[in-house]
């Protein structure tokens, strides 16, 4: 007889882990949504859908933002909800053009705070050179929301012929990350949980469209691109390894991590490879242009810490393996649910 209780996946209620971007989210998508509303475009599960309309190729993406706290070092829910959708479009090398914005506001929420949020939403949209062309507001009863939730949907135009996709990684390719990991996740976590780590750490929250478009000259050799949001670098690489049926090897010592992020992760027993970013992406490129891609990224402030961190291999297809700082190796697995701080 099995002693340890029911399998996690047989749960009949939604748990927070279903929103973590890991295996539970994957189950929800595969078992609930795809069978009912799936189609070849949605089923590709890329950051943004690719639409051919008349002579134009468009990227289309939507995302909802429920961050808590609403204001955090380096941004707020307003700027985040612009950056996030812009970044999803950018991962298909689309030039973002238009956004929609839907605000779900809780009764009793301060108008002054709402103004601040919409101001920063506007600044982020202006900086990314997108127009907000459709919008909606709803107010829900006190207690039915966490202040403000925002949904944004974006459309961008794809000018490259062969946009990157998660299933295009090839053995021999190089793996490049655009900067250091985990700033967003750790700065939000510290604020939300009241962990005073005496750091001035800021979220990396930023729109990546200009940084990505600077890579247009390399379009034919850019195979995959993923922004590192929920589930961090590990989830992005596992998705690529799985979709392309290749193995990925990364070198721990080549991955940049800010000391404050590293310190907080050590303290809480979290792995920075799984912590969310909101202004970083990973790309898989032909190894012959990898150095030039890194150089191009480093010109931009948002890509100044870009580095080659690994390569694609025929070994262990579907798996991401890390070479550790002391010369050993380990598997970098998908997360099951949310990362939970360890006891000791």
Partner 1 sequence: MKYVDEYRDLELAGKLAKEIERLCTQRWTIMEVCGGQTHTILQFGIEDLLPANVNLVHGPGCPVCVTPVSLIDRAIAIASLPKVIFCSFGDMLRVPGSTVDLLEAKARGADVRIVYSPLDAVKLAKQNPQMDVVFFAVGFETTAPANAMSLHQAKKLNLTNYFVLSSQVLVPPVCASVLSSADNQVQAFIGPGHVCTITGLNEYKNLAQTYKVPIVVAGFEPIDILESILLCITQLESGRHEVINQYKRVVEAQGNLTAQKLLQEVFEVCDREWRGLGWIENSGLKLGSNYKDFDADLHFEKTSLVEISESAECISGQILRGTKKPTDCSAFGTRCTPDKPLGATMVSSEGTCANYFKFKRFELDSTTS
Q: Which of residues 236-255 bind partner 1 (CB under 8 A)?
A: 241-242, 253
Q: Residue 262 is encoded by which pair of tokens?
A: 């590293």
By beta-carbon proximity to partner 1, the closer residue of 268 and 284 is 268
Pick from 193, 216, 220, 288 the residue near partner 1 by CB under 8 A.
Answer: 193
Q: In the bound complex, what is the minimum distance in angstroms from residue 34's beta carbon to partner 1?
A: 18
How far apart CA 103 and CA 61 sit, in angstroms, is 17
Pick from 167, 202, 210, 336 the residue near partner 1 by CB under 8 A.
Answer: 336
Partners of 136 in beta bridges: 102
Q: Length of the chain in residues, anyone?
A: 344
CB 153 within 8 A of CB 61: yes
Residue with tokens 């468009």: 58
Applying CB under 8 A, does 330 fall inside the site for partner 1?
yes
x/- letters, 259..298, toward partner 1 (CB under 8 A): x--xx--x-xx-----------------------------
Longest dimension (CA), the chain: 61
By beta-carbon proximity to partner 1, the closer residue of 38 and 269 is 269
Q: In the bound complex, what is the minimum distance in angstroms from residue 144's beta carbon to partner 1?
A: 16
For residue 292, what are the CA distances in angstroms to 214, 250, 259? Answer: 12, 19, 27
Q: In the bound complex, what is the minimum distance in angstroms from residue 23's beta carbon to partner 1?
A: 7
Q: Is 3 helix (H, G, I), strand (E, B) or coil?
A: coil
* 3-state DSSP helix/strand/coil % of the chain, to nearest 5: 35, 25, 40
Applying CB under 8 A, does 2 fall inside the site for partner 1?
yes
By beta-carbon proximity to partner 1, the closer residue of 275 and 285 is 275
Applying CB under 8 A, does 1 fall inside the site for partner 1?
yes
Going by C-alpha positions, the residue among 311, 32, 50, 75 that lies closest to residue 185 is 75
How far apart CA 274 and CA 236 sit, in angstroms, is 10
Binding site for partner 1 (CB under 8 A): 1-9, 11, 13-17, 23, 193, 195, 241-242, 253, 259, 262-263, 266, 268-269, 316-319, 321, 324-331, 333-334, 336-337, 340-344
């Amino acid at each position: 007889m099995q002693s340890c209780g029911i399998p996690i996946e047989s749960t009949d209620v939604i748990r927070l882990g279903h929103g973590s971007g890991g295996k539970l989210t994957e189950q929800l998508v595969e078992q609930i949504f795809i069978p009912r509303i799936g189609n070849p475009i949605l089923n590709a599960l890329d950051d943004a859908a690719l639409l051919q309309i008349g002579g134009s190729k468009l990227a289309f993406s939507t995302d909802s933002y429920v961050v808590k706290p609403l204001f955090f070092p380096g941004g707020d829910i307003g700027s985040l909800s612009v950056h996030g959708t812009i970044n999803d479009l950018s991962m298909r090398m689309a030039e973002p053009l238009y956004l929609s914005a839907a605000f779900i506001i809780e009764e009793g929420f301060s108008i002054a705070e709402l103004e601040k949020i919409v101001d920063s939403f506007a600044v982020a949209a202006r900086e990314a050179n997108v127009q907000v062309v459709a919008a909606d507001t709803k107010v829900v009863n006190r207690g039915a929301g966490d202040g403000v939730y925002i949904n944004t949907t974006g459309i961008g135009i794809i000018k490259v012929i062969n946009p990157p996709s998660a299933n295009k990684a090839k053995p021999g390719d190089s793996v490049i990350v655009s900067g250091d990991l985990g700033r967003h996740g750790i700065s939000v976590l510290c604020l939300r949980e009241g962990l005073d780590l005496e750091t001035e750490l800021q979220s990396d929250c930023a729109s990546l469209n200009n940084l990505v478009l600077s890579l247009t000259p390399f379009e034919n050799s850019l195979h995959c691109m993923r922004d590192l949001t929920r589930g961090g670098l590990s989830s992005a690489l596992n998705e690529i390894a799985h979709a392309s049926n290749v193995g990925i090897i990364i070198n721990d010592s080549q991955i940049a991590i800010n000391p404050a992020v590293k310190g907080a992760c050590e303290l809480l027993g979290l792995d920075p490879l799984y912590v969310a970013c909101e202004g970083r992406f990973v790309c898989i490129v032909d190894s012959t242009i990898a150095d030039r891609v890194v150089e191009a990224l480093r010109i931009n402030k948002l890509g100044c810490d870009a580095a080659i961190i690994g390569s694609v291999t025929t070994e262990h297809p579907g798996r991401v393996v890390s070479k550790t700082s002391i010369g050993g190796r380990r598997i970098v697995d998908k997360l099951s649910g949310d990362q939970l701080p360890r006891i000791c």
